[in-house]
Amino acid sequence: MQSQTALEFLSTYTFAFMIIAIAIFVVVLLSTAKGSNLQLFSSCNIEPLLPCEQTVLSHNSATQSTTFTVLFRNQLDFVLKFPANALNVTTTGIGSAGKVSTFGQCSPGLAAEGAQVVCNATIPGSYSPSLGTDMFTPFSLNFSICPSLTAKCYPGNDNATGDASETLGGGQTSNLYTINIASQGGTVLINGVPPGPEAYLTGGDYTIYVQPNPAYAFVSWSWNGGAGSSITPPTAQNAVLVLGSSGNIIATLTSISTTSTSTSTTSTSTTSTPTTTSVPTTTIPPSPIAVAFSPITNLAYVTKSDGTVDAINPASGAITGTIGVGITPMAVAFDPASNLAYVVNWCSDPTCAQGAVNAINTATGAVGMVSGGVGVEPDAVAFNPSGSLAYVAGNPGFGGGDIAIISPASGTVTGSIGVGTNPDSVAFDPFEPIAYVTNYGSGTVSVINTGTDAVSTIKVGTEPDAVAFDPTIDLAYVANSGSQTVNVISPASGTVIKTITVGTYPDAIAFNPSGTLAYVANYGSGTVSVINTATNAVSTISGISQPYAIAVDPFQSIAYVTNYGGTTISVINTANNAVTTIPA
C-alpha cells in the first residue's frame, strides 16, 4: 500500500508534516592515533524533524577499512522503520582513489519517538585521505513512518539525502560513550527516553529515572566506573548523571512482596562523537487494522495494532472477547468449513525478520501457531471455498514476492509459489480452481491454478492493493491505489473488461452477499465508493476517517470499516448508507 511517500501522504491527508530536507554543516575535527587511525567529525542537521547529532568518518589502517556513521534522533510523533541497507553512502577519495558507493544498516530497526538512531556503513578499500584533502560524502536514508511500534507503517518509503564536505584539517576528538542497558525489575530512562539496548552519549549532564515494574520499588542509584562521573542524589528516583567516563549505572530495586533486591545495570564504553537531546515519549492507543465476519458464528474479528483481536457481536456492537496474537496483525480470515480463523502477523518476533500466522479456534478462543515460514511482512490471507487450502501473501525479501501454501488440516506451510513484486492481497475464485494475487510493486495480478500451482499474469492499474470476487458471477474486482480505479476482470478470458473510477487511494474491497454492490474503502479521501455491479454506477459514502479495511456482514445489512490510525470502527447501514461508529 504505497501510492506515495509516507510524509507526502501524511501531509496531504492527515498530518501537516514538512518535507524532510537534510542540510549538513561540516565542522572538521581530525584525530590521529600513532598515524594508524583517522577520524573526521561533522556536525549536522536534518531539518526539521530528525535532528542530526553527528557524522563520523573513521579509517583504521589495521583493518584497511573506513566506517561512516551518522547519528540522529527521531523527533517525529511516530515510529521510524528502517529496512535492510537503509543507509547509502557515496565517497570519493576514501577506500579507493575513485568513487565508492556502499550500503549500511540503521539501529534500532524500529525507532520509537525520541529514540536515537545510529547508522553505519563500512567502505571497503585501504585508501586513506591525507591532510588538506577535500572531502565530499553524500548519503541517503530510507525509512517508513509507522503510527506505533506494533502498527503497520504508512504507505511508501521516505528518502532523506544529505552530504558532508570540507577540507581535512587538524583538530581534536570528542568522547562518545556507548551505553548498554540491562534492566531487571524496572526500566531506566535517560532524559525521559528509554534508551533501549544501546545508546550513545557524550560527556555531560543527564536526567536519569527508573520506572519500577509492578511489585518492585526503587532503593538507590550507584556509579561503578571511572573518575569524572557521578549520580546525585543517589537516593532520588529522579537523579542527575554527570557523565565523564566509562562505567556502569546501577539502579537498585527491591521486591515489594519478598524484600529481595535486583539491579538495572548500564555499562559504558568509549568511542567518539556528539551530544544527545531528549524528547518525551507518547503512548499511542491501539488502532483497528483488519476485519472479517465469521460465516458460522456471525462474530466480527477486528485485528488491532497492539497485537490483539477483538471479537464483536454485530447485533449489539459490543466486544465479547479479546484474544492476544502476534506483532502487527495485518489480516484475518475465517475457514468456511471449520471454527478456525487465521491471523497474519507482520512479525514473528521484534526483529521482524519473518512473519507469522496464528490459528484461532473461534469456539474456544485457543490460539495456536501455523508451523513454517510465510515470508517477510505478510499482508493477506485467504481460504479456498472448501477450507482445504489457505494462501498467505508475503515478501520473502524486500522487492520479491511469494505465496505461502498452508494446509489447515495439519496447520503447516506445505510450500510456496512465486508471484509478482510486493503481493498484498489474495482471493479465491468461488467458481474456478484459481486464486488471484495483487502485486502492488508490479502493477499485475498473478493468477494461480490451485491444482497445479501454475502462474499466469494479468496487467492491471497502478499499485493494485486489493482483490475480491463477485459471489454470484465469475468476475474479479481489483482496487488500484495508484490509479484510483477498480478493474473488473473476467477470469474466463483473463482480461480487464471494465475500469471504474473511485476515490483516492482505494485499498480494500468487499461485496454484499447478493453480489449487487461492491464496497471500496478509499483511504486517502476518507470515503467508501459503492459500485452497482449491474450498471457500474458509483455512489459515495463520506465522513469515514482513514478507511483501511472493509467487510460486509453475511447475515445483517451492515458493513464494518476499520478507521486506521483512530480507535473506532465505522458501521455502514447497507440499506440506506447511514454511518455510525463503535469503539474498537
- Per the CB < 8 A criterion, the answer to whether 119 and 183 are in contact is no
pTM of the full structure: 0.58
**Same domain, yes or no: 155 and 213:** no
- Per the CB < 8 A criterion, the answer to whether 393 and 380 are in contact is yes
> Widest CA span of the chain, in angstroms?
81
HSE-up (13 A, CA, CB side) for residue 396:
13
3-state SS, residue 7 = helix
Domain boundary among 216, 240, 271: 271
- Does 390 fall in a domain? no
- Per the CB < 8 A criterion, the answer to whether 304 and 321 are in contact is no
- Does 154 fall in a domain? yes
What is the grid cell recorded at 294?
465469521
∠ CA(507), CA(513), CA(518), 5° rounding?
35
**Amino acid in position 152:** K
- Does 65 fall in a domain? yes
- Does 63 fall in a domain? yes
The C-alpha torsion from 397 through 402 and 407 to 411, rounded to 10°, is 10
**Same domain, yes or no: 98 and 219:** no
**Same domain, yes or no: 44 and 134:** yes
Domain boundary among 167, 184, 218: 167
CATH of the domain at 190: 2.60.40
- Does 116 fall in a domain? yes
**Same domain, yes or no: 134 and 29:** yes
Pick from 67, 68, 61: which is nearest to 126 by CA? 61
**Same domain, yes or no: 81 and 210:** no
Name the domain count of the chain.
2
Range of the domain at 264: 176-271
> Rounded distance, CA 143 to CA 87, Å?
9
**Same domain, yes or no: 212 and 161:** no
- Does 349 fall in a domain? no
- Does 431 fall in a domain? no
> Rounded distance, CA 346 to CA 374, Å?
10
**Same domain, yes or no: 139 and 185:** no
**Same domain, yes or no: 11 and 77:** yes
**Same domain, yes or no: 236 and 112:** no
> Rounded distance, CA 419 to CA 425, Å?
12
**31 C-beta neighbours (distance < 10 Å), count:** 16
Domain boundary among 241, 271, 301: 271
Q: Please spell the DSSP secondary structure of 163-220, one letter per residue.
A: EEEEE--------EEEEEEE-SSEEEEETTB--TTEEEEESEEEEEEEEEPTTEEEEE
- Does 567 fall in a domain? no
Taking the mean position of all CA atoms in its chain, how far away is CA 69?
23
**Same domain, yes or no: 108 and 216:** no
**Same domain, yes or no: 122 and 183:** no
Per this entry, what is the length of the chain?
584
Q: Over its length of 584 residues, how does the chain's per-residue pLDDT go in tens digits? A: 433 334 333 333 333 222 222 222 222 222 222 223 344 444 454 544 566 566 666 655 555 566 777 777 776 767 888 887 888 877 766 655 566 778 888 877 778 777 777 777 877 766 555 545 555 667 777 888 787 776 667 655 666 655 555 444 433 333 445 555 555 667 777 655 555 444 555 566 777 777 777 677 888 888 777 777 888 888 888 888 887 776 677 778 777 654 334 444 444 443 333 222 222 223 346 789 999 999 888 899 999 988 899 999 999 999 999 999 988 899 999 999 888 999 999 888 766 678 899 999 998 889 999 998 898 888 899 999 999 999 999 876 444 578 999 999 999 999 999 999 889 899 999 999 999 999 988 899 999 999 999 999 999 999 899 999 999 999 999 999 889 999 999 999 999 999 999 998 899 999 999 999 999 999 888 999 999 999 999 999 998 988 999 999 999 999 999 998 788 999 999 999 999 999 88
**Same domain, yes or no: 55 and 132:** yes
For residue 6, the surrounding DSSP H or E stretch is: helix 6-9
